[in-house]
Amino acid sequence: MTLLLAGCMKKSSQEVPAKKKESETRSAHRGTASRGSRRLAIIIDDMGNDRADDDAVIALPYPLTVSVLPHLPLSTEIADEAARRGDEVMLHLPMQPDSETTPHEAVELHPGMPAEDVRAVFAGMLETVPHASGVNNHEGSRATTDRQLMDALMPALRQRGLFFIDSRTTASTIAYDTARLYGVRAASRKVFLDDSLDKKAIQEQINLAVKDTEHDGQAIAIGHPHPETIATLREMLPRLKEHGIQLVFASELVH
């Protein structure tokens, strides 16, 4: 297939005109994938930190899934705005990382927590991120390998009808398998878009996600609200449809 990567791309005829009404643009987000089309979900993590960057993500006229960190001053406001504009909202669930040098969130799930504490902390996080239809882990390279913690978390998701996306911050994760064991709809991240903020590197990661849809029929990619990521998505997303790829919400790719 022809990759999307290009040094200088023209605006696609599929791109939504700027003057088109917001309601028309957003209503198109919830269309059903056409028969035989390949599907790509893009999750934007770490929302709720910066109003300008978060607004730039929400303003993109494409069906994106925004994953909002809890207990931040903007958490509820950003979740409300994303839902109002028609994007899918997830809770970006802080979990303990493996590295001692990785910054911790003020409130996070960690191995050794009693099950009742896991449920209470999780419930408190959800209260600050309204409209969440699912969850993916923030960090969690240690937490997602811990059987006891995953056994405590997944029934709480199932009780609320929430799906789980394993961000796969470690190859040793058991989060996806545990979710499926407990009957929680789940999927796993295939590609990180912006480990490097170089524009060409982000383009190459988007192309990698496109190639994954060619092989598997679908893929989930995760990025962040960096200006470089937003600009590259704005440039490349209009080209997806002409390559037979439909951009969908993460909830459409869980099973």
The 3-class secondary structure across the chain, one letter per residue, is: CCCCCCCCCCCCCCCCCCCCCHHHHHHHHHCCCCCCCEEEEEEEEEECCCHHHHHHHHCCCCCCEEEECCCCCCHHHHHHHHHHHCCEEEEEEEECCCCCCCCCCCCCECCCCCHHHHHHHHHHHHHHCCCEEEEEEEECCCHHHCHHHHHHHHHHHHHHCCEEEECCCCCCCCHHHHHHHCCCCEEECCEECCCCCCHHHHHHHHHHHHHHHHHHCEEEEEECCCHHHHHHHHHHHHHCHHHCEEEECHHHHCC
Encode pLDDT of 146-200 as tens digits.
Answer: 999 999 999 999 999 999 999 999 999 999 999 999 999 999 999 999 999 999 9
What pLDDT score was predicted for residue 240?
93
Domain regions of the chain by residue span: 35-253
Lowest mean pLDDT among 37-51, 57-71, 102-116: 102-116
What pLDDT score was predicted for residue 136?
98
Average pLDDT over residues 37-43: 95
Average pLDDT over residues 51-68: 97
Encode pLDDT of 191-231 as tens digits.
Answer: 999 999 999 999 999 999 999 999 999 999 999 999 999 99
Average pLDDT over residues 97-124: 92
Mean pLDDT of the chain: 89
> What architecture (CATH level 2) is domain 35-253?
Alpha-Beta Barrel (3.20)
